[in-house]
């Protein structure tokens, strides 16, 4: 079931997919996303810690909170992720990849991230 955003249109960022597709528009850009997660494991009281894996020096990833503490009363939690991009020359199209991982010592929940910058809407369409 899809629910439209407040504007009445459904955009990619409104979907609660586990992956992130991040397109930076300029050499200095910041994007924030909020994700909702649900504990579906066998342990009601699960604590997941964060591991960030970024493969580019141009993107800083921040996540809050850095620990998800599930309980009988809190089976659904949310976190906010911020991507900060800093680059002075964006004349050519570039891309990079990374991920964030939530782990409880047994289970790992991985969210892959694809970064893209230095693209125009025309070049983005031609790369599809």
Please write the tens of the pLDDT for every residue from 7-34.
555 555 555 678 899 998 877 899 999 9
E-strand stretches of the chain: 20-23, 28-38, 47-54, 59-64, 67-69, 76-86, 94-103, 108-117
Q: What region does 106 belong to: left with phi over 0, alpha with psi -120 to 50, or beta? A: alpha
User: What fold is seen in the domain 21-126?
Assistant: Immunoglobulin-like (2.60.40)
Model pLDDT, residue 4 = 52
Please write the tens of the pLDDT for every residue from 55-110.
788 899 999 999 999 999 999 999 999 999 988 665 555 888 999 999 999 999 99
Model pLDDT, residue 2 = 46
Query: Where in the chain are the domains?
Result: 21-126
Model pLDDT, residue 108 = 92
Question: If you search the block for the tokens 């899809």, which residue do you land on?
Answer: 2
Model pLDDT, residue 92 = 56
Residue 40 scores a pLDDT above 80: yes
If one compares 104 and 1, the residue with the highest pLDDT of the two is 104
Model pLDDT, residue 55 = 78
CB neighbours of 60 closer than 8 A, spacing ≥ 6? 54, 83, 84, 86
Please write the tens of the pLDDT for every residue from 2-12.
445 555 555 55
CA dist 15 and 111 (Å) reads: 14
H helix or E strand, kind and range, residue 123:
helix 121-126
- Can you give the length of the chain in residues? 128
User: Is 0.85 surpassed by the pTM of this model?
Assistant: no
């Amino acid at each position: 079931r899809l629910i439209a955003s407040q504007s009445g249109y459904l955009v990619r960022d409104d979907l609660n997919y586990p992956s992130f597709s991040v397109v930076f528009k300029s050499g200095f850009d910041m994007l924030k996303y909020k994700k909702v997660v649900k504990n579906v494991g066998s342990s009601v009281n699960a604590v997941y810690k964060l591991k960030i894996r970024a493969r580019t020096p141009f993107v800083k990833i921040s996540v809050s909170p850095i620990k998800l503490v599930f309980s009988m009363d809190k089976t659904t939690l949310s976190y906010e992720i911020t991507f900060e991009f800093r680059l002075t020359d964006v004349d050519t199209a570039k891309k990079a990849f990374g991920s964030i991982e939530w782990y409880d010592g047994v289970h790992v929940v991985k969210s892959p991230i694809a970064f893209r910058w230095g693209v125009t809407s025309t070049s983005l369409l031609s790369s599809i």
